[in-house]
Amino acid sequence: MEAIILSKEQFDQLMTKVNDIADKVQSKTTQKQEVFVDNEEFIKMMKISRRTAQTWRDEGKISFSQVGNKIYYKLSDIERTMQDYYNKSFQKK
């Protein structure tokens, strides 16, 4: 086994670089990029009509963004809506 001796200054420089790398890795893993789907993708994903999508928006069942004439939904909002309307099965005794 070979031993490597560093001066305090060299060790501090090395630790600074290690900490910088750790911070970059941490920021990459904690940054979750929000995914948006447009109205067409939403309709296909949910297998619903345009009218049903419009009704859900009007009734506040699904959150959305509108830019001009385009409608967008956050994937997390779609998942949350599905969870909100989830019905558990009945348990037989």
Summarised one tens digit per residue, pLDDT across range 28-73 is 766 667 899 999 999 999 999 999 999 999 999 999 999 999 999 9
3-class DSSP assignment, residue 66: strand
Provide the percentage of residues in the chain whose pLDDT is more than 90: 65
Q: What is the pLDDT of residue 38?
A: 96
Name the nearest CA neighbour of 62 among 48, 22, 16.
Answer: 48
Q: What is the pLDDT of residue 93?
A: 65
Q: What is the pLDDT of residue 82?
A: 93
Q: What is the pLDDT of residue 32?
A: 67
Taking the C-alpha atoms of residue 80 and residue 68, their distance in angstroms, rounded to an integer, is 25
Strands of 70-74's sheet, edge to edge?
A: 36-38, 70-74, 65-67
Summarised one tens digit per residue, pLDDT across range 2-30 is 888 989 999 899 889 999 898 888 877 66
